[in-house]
Structure 1
Amino acid sequence: MSEFDPKEFIASLPRRPGVYRMFGAGHELLYVGKARSLRDRVGTYFAPRNVDPKVRSLTAQIEGVEVTVTNSETEALLLEYNLIKAHKPRFNVVLRDDKSFPYIHLYVEHEFPRLEFYRGAKSAPGRYFGPFPSAGAVRDTLNQLQKLFRIRNCRDSFFANRSRPCLQHQIGRCSAPCVGLIPRDAYAQDIAAAVKVLEGRSDEVNAELEKRMEEAGAALQFERAAQIRDQRAALQRIQAQQIVTAEGQPDVDVFAIVGEAGEYAVSVMLVRGGRNLGTTSYFPRAALAEADEALASFILQYYADAEAPAEVLLGSNLEEAASLSELLSERTGERIEVRHPVRGLAARWVELTRENAVQALRMRLAQRAGLDEMFSDLASMLDLPEPPSRIECFDISHTGGEGTVASCVVFGPDGPLKKEYRRFNITAVTPGDDYGALRQALERRYRHVRAGEVSPPDLLLIDGGAGQVSQVHAVLAELGYGDLTLVGIAKGPERRVGHERLFVYGAPGPVTPEGQTPAARLIQRIRDEAHRFAITGHRRKRARRYNESVLEVVPGLGPARRRALLKHFGGLQGVMRAGVADLTQVAGIGATLARSVYDHLHPGS
């Protein structure tokens, strides 16, 4: 293969729109870009006046360039997006937060529907409201709607087995449809009002509540009228608390980018029905792209998972705005306007979003400076040749050996890499055998590392002393990772935080961090994060198991008889307190089945 000659190659390029792909050793795709003029754009990378270190780093690795000519800039923008999404070149903009957006879901199939937090593919039947900027925004909205309209928030299985109102009704958060304390039509009115609030039609709800209040008063239903009056007042208070409100405005997304190549912050503000739902900040990896190019690429990736509203506002006058509008309109089948406002409420929204981006970038840079110091101090303390770029930490969580879960958390120079966290449900080990659980987790994890699916760490942390470190090293050696730097974190006297000792495999003795040094704080942070991630998984596993009624495993006790038992005794606690003779009083429960139920609820009695 002949050596790549950039000067000769650039001279052969047309001055037409298209996409260029830069390849390195082994035909690795390094970078994908679009251009209005391929010759002019590609030429800038190799121009002698271009002294940007990131560009120089890229061009030093280039062994070939391929181009695709397109009919328009819009076609080039779409092709660039598809190539980046398919290949994820390391020099390109990558939206690294892989969580789907949170929604509010209304399951309309139930006689008394409920609103619930939802994240994931919108495949379940019902209506979806959102997306929201964060899980917290969803929960705040649900909390307000529950206070306003007393909509149930319980699971359908819980709802079906109630014989008396629960605590939510007693504190005024639920109208108790489970026990018939509200007619179906009245509950449907409350659901309809909540939906209108979510759609930004609060004024209509106020008018309807006023009408219903007057009708209740005319019918001499004064308690009902007072309840509706309080609902209306609460709704008006919530409307008054909105930072920026413009009733009747369409749904809008606002984007603003700040920073420079390699260190951008993008803030996104969601406005629904004229109500500001808050901002979320992202930090796309964009080593080479200019701000406008990075923002255009980010917006296309953002709307791969979210529906675009009727209007998208930008913090700068983007050249690609018309192309973005055309692409988003084609995707949704509706007209999507993409523009940079210069006056009015829209301009204030843009400025507010830009201020949030500036603040987010400032905080990120301050956090990174602190992390750089922590990683450097850790390398010095452990006598490593250079600061680690990837740290993994394992932890085990169980209750008396039951429901064992292992966690693996990953940290890099930017902090926790949460999308690379993993949990392992441990099976086929002796209850309480933490070493056996850790061995199983390591074998499962490093099988993927050996297959090249996961990057190996520079440093591996485990919870334990010299004995555990030796045992874990033996496992790593079997897997082909005996050279990995391995450190055990042993708790200090009386398990006091800040007095840990570090056992480095191969070192003659333990290392004791001095007080609250940057390295000590980093070790504590990573260990605590591994423990949090493990115990959260264990608790969820335990909760799923305990939420399944123990009655479901009783032989011969089908759904109808379970419901009869729960209804007769007012819930599972009542069944637990009942004796064999009490159980036989329930229709369909004979003496033999009653004894079986009792023995399952009271093993060893």
Structure 2
Amino acid sequence: MPSNHSPVNLEPFDSQAFLAQTTQRPGVYQMLSAEGDVLYVGKAKNLKQRLASYFRSSGLAIKTQALVQRIQGIQLTITGSETEALLLEQNLIKKLRPPYNILLRDDKSYPFIFISDTHQYPAIQFHRGSRRHKGRYFGPFPSSGAVRDSLNLLQKIFRIRQCEESFFKNRSRPCLQYQINRCSGPCVNKITPENYADDIRHAMMFLEGKNQSIRDELAKQMERAAESLDFELAAELRDQIISLQKVQEEQHISGVEGDADILACAISAGAACIHQLFVKGGRVIGSKAHYPKLALETTESELLSSFIGQYYLQGAEIQLNAENGTEQQHSPVISSSQGSARPVPPQLILSHEADDVDCLVAALTAVRGKRIQVTSRVRGARSNWLKLAMTNAEQQIQNFIANRQNIYRRYIELQEALGLDEAPKRMECFDISHSSGEATVASCVVFDNQGPKKSDYRRFNIETAVAGDDYGAMNEALTRRYKRLKKDDAILPDILIVDGGKGQLKQAKEVLAELQIDTILVLGIAKGVTRKPGLESIIHADTYDELVLPTNSGALHLLQHIRDEAHRFAITGHRQRRAKKRGQSALEQIPGVGPKRRKELLKHFGGVQEIGRASVEEIAKVSTISRVMAEEIYAHLHRD
């Protein structure tokens, strides 16, 4: 990212003169290019010693040599300690995104479970984003699926409401959740505030991993209920205890409690994977794989250190009192922004010992407010967790490399097939979906050199085109897409693909000409006479010449992949829009799921949303649903 610094002298950087004036105090350095752009941000306990290592006569890796050759200036910021330098470094990396730093692409906020403390009958809810509301937040969870699994358990065991506030306030009789024993009916006062508060307290204890304490407390209540001859209450408490026992048997490792994040790192062929395993209350609640961008030769220890800094310290804030000049002195104040910081677990278990581990512990402790443990030497159950994370990291990096190499080969073949000067870096494909003109939806899918880039996918609900007019729908979608990209000065694709023949290509050419965009190669992919896969024709928009590629062509497979993905994304959006318009249940669209099965599913789960949150195994527990049918239902409800 360009900085505010003016361009420096184009003469070779005089490292000896610079180092002669450099301090030996801790701080952060920013390496600048001739244009004043920040190339690399680093921290050091001793700035002079660290920077001198870049300008030694031998022993530098090739990528580090490339960095040094581009340096035309270095800006220093002195800090009071190495810990403060670490926090400032992470803030600058996140803000500037220097090309030679290890960059963690995943910057999305993770989901939490939220329970309000201002409501008489609080709901237990999925939450993502800033944590500004008053109440308890539990998490973060690795995925929305992990949150929904936990919410489903809490609803089954403790019968706590999960409905929205507007729904809760307007009830005059209990909803279906109450009838199937998934809610205690607080909306119509079927439970006292005191008893509901007990259920909420037990739910929070469950999320804190205190299952045994809950079971002991419920067991005592069950005994008292039995002694009082309140056998109905005793039976309810017994069922809760059984459910908790089942959860422990399925998810809990005996004798192990507490929270921890396990990080396993694997590096191969210039790519890296960090597999993150999340443990809450002794239970493995999920995992996530990260693929950081590597620009310099990096060891596992360096990568883990950089990842921990960027991931766990991203919400840490430093208030600076800086003076102008090459060396800036300040007294930072370390704080944590509760709206953005990821909670730091009490324990981090690593596959390799991280660099600067003492500094990391100090910084993480400052943000968390409590001492944390960072270790790579564990035994027992924690060792098993680490082995599991390491196995996943190694497998995923191999899959990642294989997939990347395969995709790269297909891009090269596409370059050769089209006679391009270089392989395309970005492609976009459009498709139209509707039912006799009803609920028309256009899709735009994006591929880069890593394959599908789903974060850039877009759908367009077609409003202005005449129903059933595919050409008009394509024109509207393309106009809306590229008018926005040009207005925002955003990245344009190298190749635009439309699913269709010459008519669709004509619409694309007209739109791009109207917007004065002439840098995009436009292709059409049309089914052949037999409309069989592998016999498609590729049509060049400039000449309308047709190119028929061999059925084993990697270029054809790449175009088929992006076309099929655009079709899938469009038809899914169309079905969702049509179902919403008709008020139709998503279950009605699943072949083989008739009225009886829909009734049994709704009776078992309480609603379509709950079915969507269920696993294949849970769906198969419904009496009328086989394992094969459960897989079909799950696949249909998770097409996105």
Q: What is the TM-score when the length of structure 1 is the normalising length?
A: 0.80
AA partner of residue 357 (structure 2): A
2:517 aligns to what SS in structure 1? coil
Per-residue CA deviation, residues 52-92 of structure 1 (Å, 9 max, x unaligned), is 34224333433333333444322322222121111111221
Distance across 1 between alignment mates of 2:262 and 2:439: 45
Q: 2:294 aligned with 1:258, yes or no?
A: no
Q: 2:142 aligned with 1:106, yes or no?
A: no
Q: 2:482 aligned with 1:446, yes or no?
A: yes
AA partner of residue 67 (structure 1): L
Q: 2:367 aligned with 1:358, yes or no?
A: no
Cα distance change, pair 503–130 in 1 and its aligned pair in 2 (3 A): same
Cα distance change, pair 117–51 in 1 and its aligned pair in 2 (3 A): same
Please identify, of 181-190 and 286-295, the stretch whose mean Cα deviation from structure 2 is larger.
181-190
Distance across 2 between alignment mates of 1:88 and 1:141: 35
**What is the CA distance between 1:96 and its match in structure 2?**
0.8
Q: Which of 474, 480, 484 is the matching residue for 2:520?
A: 484
Per-residue CA deviation, residues 383-409 of structure 1 (Å, 9 max, x unaligned), is 333322111223345566566554433
**What is the CA distance between 1:226 and its match in structure 2?**
2.5
Q: 2:424 aligned with 1:415, yes or no?
A: no
Distance across 1 between alignment mates of 2:36 and 2:188: 67
Distance across 2 between alignment mates of 1:212 and 1:38: 63
Q: Which runs of 5+ in 1 are unaligned?
A: 549-605
| Residue pair 1:268, 1:280 contacting (<8 A) in 2 also | yes
| Residue pair 1:474, 1:482 contacting (<8 A) in 2 also | no
> What pairs with 1:442-481 in structure 2 (closer than 5 Å)?
442-450=478-486, 453-481=489-517
Structure 2 equivalent of residue 287 of structure 1 = 295
Distance across 1 between alignment mates of 2:100 and 2:458: 26
> What pairs with 1:269-348 in structure 2 (closer than 5 Å)?
269-288=277-296, 289-303=298-312, 304=314, 305-343=341-379, 345-348=381-384
Distance across 1 between alignment mates of 2:528 and 2:236: 58
> What pairs with 1:375-394 in structure 2 (closer than 5 Å)?
375-394=411-430
AA partner of residue 193 (structure 1): H
AA partner of residue 522 (structure 1): L
| Residue pair 2:10, 2:34 contacting (<8 A) in 1 also | no
Structure 1 equivalent of residue 35 of structure 2 = 26
Per-residue CA deviation, residues 218-276 of structure 1 (Å, 9 max, x unaligned), is 233333322322221121111012264545x4422232322169422112222222222
Structure 2 equivalent of residue 208 of structure 1 = 217
Structure 1 equivalent of residue 621 of structure 2 = none
**What is the CA distance between 1:371 and its match in structure 2?**
1.6
The aligned length equals 547
2:221 aligns to what SS in structure 1? helix
2:251 aligns to what SS in structure 1? coil
Per-residue CA deviation, residues 540-592 of structure 1 (Å, 9 max, x unaligned), is 667777789xxxxxxxxxxxxxxxxxxxxxxxxxxxxxxxxxxxxxxxxxxxx
AA partner of residue 278 (structure 2): L
Distance across 2 between alignment mates of 1:72 and 1:159: 52
AA partner of residue 227 (structure 2): A
Structure 1 equivalent of residue 431 of structure 2 = 395
| Residue pair 1:245, 1:275 contacting (<8 A) in 2 also | no
1:26 aligns to what SS in structure 2? coil
Distance across 2 between alignment mates of 1:210 and 1:145: 18
| Residue pair 1:199, 1:273 contacting (<8 A) in 2 also | yes
RMSD between aligned residues: 3.3
Please identify, of 268-277 and 465-474, the stretch whose mean Cα deviation from structure 2 is larger.
268-277
Distance across 2 between alignment mates of 1:110 and 1:401: 47
Distance across 2 between alignment mates of 1:176 and 1:108: 19
Distance across 2 between alignment mates of 1:399 and 1:46: 66
Larger radius of gyration: 1
Cα distance change, pair 529–122 in 1 and its aligned pair in 2 (3 A): farther
Distance across 1 between alignment mates of 2:138 and 2:427: 39
Greater relative contact order (CA < 8 Å, ≥ 6 in sequence):
2
Distance across 2 between alignment mates of 1:484 and 1:98: 30
Distance across 2 between alignment mates of 1:465 and 1:494: 15
2:70 aligns to what SS in structure 1? coil
Q: 2:129 aligned with 1:142, yes or no?
A: no
| Residue pair 2:430, 2:444 contacting (<8 A) in 1 also | yes
AA partner of residue 18 (structure 1): G
Cα distance change, pair 474–366 in 1 and its aligned pair in 2 (3 A): same
Distance across 2 between alignment mates of 1:45 and 1:260: 25
Q: Which runs of 5+ in 2 are unaligned?
A: 1-8, 315-340, 585-640
| Residue pair 2:474, 2:504 contacting (<8 A) in 1 also | no
AA partner of residue 182 (structure 2): R
Distance across 2 between alignment mates of 1:524 and 1:9: 58
| Residue pair 1:261, 1:287 contacting (<8 A) in 2 also | no
Distance across 2 between alignment mates of 1:533 and 1:98: 24
Cα distance change, pair 27–239 in 1 and its aligned pair in 2 (3 A): same
| Residue pair 2:209, 2:258 contacting (<8 A) in 1 also | no
**What is the CA distance between 1:188 and its match in structure 2?**
3.6
Q: Give me the identity figure in percent.
A: 45
Cα distance change, pair 146–513 in 1 and its aligned pair in 2 (3 A): farther
Per-residue CA deviation, residues 203-231 of structure 1 (Å, 9 max, x unaligned), is 11111221222233223333332232222
Distance across 2 between alignment mates of 1:147 and 1:103: 19
